[in-house]
Structures are given as structure tokens and as C-alpha cells.
Amino acid sequence: MLAFVAIAGPGLIAANAGNDAGGVLTYASAGAQFGYETLFLMLLVTVALVLVQEMCARLGAYTGEGLGALIREQFSLRASAGALLLLLVANAALTVSEFSGIGAAMELLGVSRYIAIPVALVVLWTLTVFGTYSKGERVALVLSFAFLAYPVAAFLAHPNVRLVARDLLTPQFTHSSAFLILAVALIGTTITPYMQFYVASAVVDKKIGPKQYPSERIDTINGAILSDVISMFIIIATAAAIGGTGPLTSAREAAQALVPAVGSAAPTLFGIGLLGASLLAAAVVPLSTAYAIAESAGAERSVSSSFRQAPLFFGLFTLQLVVGAAVALAPGNLVTRVVNMQVLNGLITPVILSFILILANRRSVLGDAANGRTFRIAATVCVVSVGALALAVVVLKLVGKA
């Protein structure tokens, strides 16, 4: 495991950060609420995630620029500002969710959120600003691998194999607004806009070019698939343990899915995994915003720079951490809050994906590395499908049925 983490690149880190507090609780809520019925949707979402993350990594490697800079150069000022505003809104909400996840994880481990969240803020800021972020990144990755217990728990819970296979391989869409909203939340937490901005910028920051891209492509694809396989096992394990009980109301309920694997240690193991995933995402989310806005402004942006060299980059990062931590300390139901944030991401995702698809299709941007015909068709179908689901939820909200 340590050797695997040691060679982890931007692709694995970005995808694994997607299994954060919001991701884990949304997947667990899907299993608790609808059993195995969302597995086929997750299979489709995995294909979409692979296509999207690969496009973003390719854009970074072949252009030497992140998405923020590319959008600024290739689109109008109004369109660029709109895209960055959507990213800022989505990421601000997610940063709150990540700190809420840190608080919930530490409460499972017996530490008050009012101590844990401020300490996490200081630790994340220090590691990032003083240039030791990569070490902290790997520590968080190791902690988040506690979620590898989910596949074990899924098997030990003895799920109905026939139902799992049926729901994984055939569509099982329940005709209800609750299912549709959760479907958008699953898309929002899996194909999260910050992951796309982060992976492209991290590829540039780590100086990965066309020659190194074949290895980075493997890292990106493997990361997307691995993270979603874990996501599916979270759904299966939770469905087998508490399926049909309705939406989750607490992190402790989500931990019950690990009982078949680790017994009474389930809350502790879940807390450790949730802490690692939340810490990783609490750094990645605001970094993706800082990268995008600094790129669009043509300012210095790198975790290897000092605060003096990159004041806008680190200033944005610091502001998001402080605001996110402050809001997370307010009272409220964690699960409801984070699932709602994933729905918000799901509504914003198709807009961001449209920019990415257009960029990756343009030969003026990527030359011979631009999307081929088959890839372009597959990616377009994914973007249109995500957009249709998001539009359906907006309509339901407007007519008061959601």
C-alpha cells in the first residue's frame, strides 16, 4: 500500500479525493435508501468519470496550462467569468462539507468538532503554504485507504448476489423525485468540478508533458476506476446492512455497513477513513479554486511557491479554508448538508463538462491529441445525459415536486 501511494499521481489523488465526506455519505445514503438500485447508474458514471478525467489530464499535459487559463483564452470574458463563478460557488459549499466531515470523523473518535476543525485548519494551511503538502497528501491517502474495508464488509454482509448482478447490469430507475435527486447527487459527488480543475492544474504543476503523459494517463484512468469501485462497494455494503431504512441521518449510521468486517471497531475505522478522505479533499477543493482563479488572472500558482511569490494563489486558498471551517462549526445535520451540496455540484457539473469537452475537441488547442471521433461521440453522450438529469431536477424544483 505504501509503495502504491508513493507513486500516486494527480489522477489517483484527484479521484480518491472524490470519496470524501460528501461522497461516502451520499453513496451510503443511496444504499440505505434504495438498496442496490443505483449500481447501474454508478457503472455509467464511472465510464463518464474516466472520459472526463482523461480529457482534463491530457489538456494539462499537452498545453502546459490548467483549465482556468484555457477557458480564459478560448472563451469570451463573460463565459470565463461564469465558469469560474460556478466553480467558486460549488467549491465553497464543498469546503464546508469537508470540514464538517472532519468534525464528524473526530467525534466518532471521541474528539469534539470544536477542537478538531480549528486544528485541521491550521495543519492543512501549514502543510500547504510551507511546501510540505505532498507529504501530508500521502498521509491523508493512507488514512483514506481505511475505506478498502468496504469490499470486505460487502462480501461478509452476504448481499443478495442475484439482485446485485441485476441492478449492476440493467437499469433500475425508480420513478420518484427522491431517486432522481439522489441520482444527480451521485453524479455531483463522483464527477465533481473541482476534480477536473485540480487534475489538469496538478499535471501542469508537476511538469508532466506529452512524453510523460502515457504514464499519467494510466494513473488517471486507474484512479477513476479504483475510486468508483470503492464507491460501489460502499453502496453494496450499506444496502446489505441497512438497505430500505431510508436516508441516513448520521455518520454513525453509515459506519454500520462496516460491522460485518470489523465488528465493534466499525465506528473507529469509519472515522479514520472519513478523516483521511476529508483532510485530503479539504486541501484539494480550495486548491482547485485557487489554481483556476490564479491561472485566469495570469498570476503565479504552485504549492511549491512561497506566499510572497504567489499571494493571490495562497490568499484564495487561505480564505476558503477559514470560511469553510467557520461555517462547518455551525450547528446542523451533517448528512443532509453534504448530500445537498452534492446535488448542487450535480447541477453545476454539466456546465463545466461542456467547457472541457469543447476544449478537448479543438485541434487548435490539442493538435493531434484532440478527441478522436469515437471519443468525441462517447464524451458528448455523457455530457448531454448529465445535463438532462440536472435539468429534470431543476424543473422538479421549479414546479415544487422536489
Q: Could you tell me the pLDDT band of residue 375, with boundaries at 50, 70 and 90?
A: very high
Least confident of 71-85, 179-193, 239-253, 376-390: 239-253
Three-state SS annotation for 324-390: HHHHHCCCCCHHHHHHHHHHHHHHHHHHHHHHHHHHHHCHHHHHHHCCCHHHHHHHHHHHHHHHHHH
The amino acid at residue 320 is: Q
Please answer whether residues 365 and 74 qualify as being in contact, where contact means their C-beta atoms are separated by less than 8 angstroms. yes
Mean pLDDT of 289-303: 79
Q: Which residue has better confidence, 326 or 9?
A: 326
Distance CA 263, CA 257 (A): 10
399 pLDDT higher than 90 = no
pLDDT 10s digits, 158-216? 888 999 999 998 887 777 788 888 888 888 888 888 888 888 888 887 888 888 888 88
Predicted local distance difference test score (pLDDT) of residue 349: 87
User: Cell digits for 130?
Assistant: 510551507
Q: Which residue has better confidence, 236 or 244?
A: 236
273 pLDDT higher than 90 = no
The string of DSSP codes covering 53-99 is HHHHHHHHHHHS--HHHHHHHHS-HHHHHHHHHHHHHHHHHHHHHHH
377 pLDDT higher than 90 = yes
Q: Could you tell me the pLDDT band of residue 137, with boundaries at 50, 70 and 90?
A: low
133 pLDDT higher than 80 = no
The amino acid at residue 69 is: A
**Across 127-141, 148-162, 300-314, which has the greatest mean pLDDT?**
148-162
What is the sign of the dihedral through the CA atoms of 48, 221, 12 and 24?
A: positive
- The overall average pLDDT reported for the chain is 84
141 pLDDT higher than 70 = no
Predicted local distance difference test score (pLDDT) of residue 243: 83
User: If DSSP codes are grouped into helix, strand and coil, which group holds residue 180?
Assistant: helix
User: Cell digits for 389?
Assistant: 438529469
Least confident of 107-111, 163-167, 278-282: 278-282
Predicted local distance difference test score (pLDDT) of residue 378: 92
The amino acid at residue 178 is: A
Least confident of 84-88, 221-225, 335-339, 366-370: 335-339
pLDDT 10s digits, 4-39? 554 456 666 666 666 777 888 889 889 989 989 999
Pick from 2, 122, 84, 114: which is nearest to 297 by CA?
84
Predicted local distance difference test score (pLDDT) of residue 16: 65
10 Å CB burial of residue 385 (0-12, 13-18, 19+) is middle
Least confident of 28-32, 88-92, 301-305: 301-305
Distance CA 41, CA 235 (A): 12
Predicted local distance difference test score (pLDDT) of residue 109: 86
Domain 2-398: CATH class, spelled out: mainly alpha
380 pLDDT higher than 80 = yes
Predicted local distance difference test score (pLDDT) of residue 37: 92
CA distances 137 to 5, 284, 359, Å, are: 10, 9, 29
Q: Could you tell me the pLDDT band of residue 241, with boundaries at 50, 70 and 90?
A: confident
Least confident of 27-31, 259-263, 303-307, 341-345: 303-307
Residue extents of the structural domains in the chain: 2-398
Predicted local distance difference test score (pLDDT) of residue 355: 93
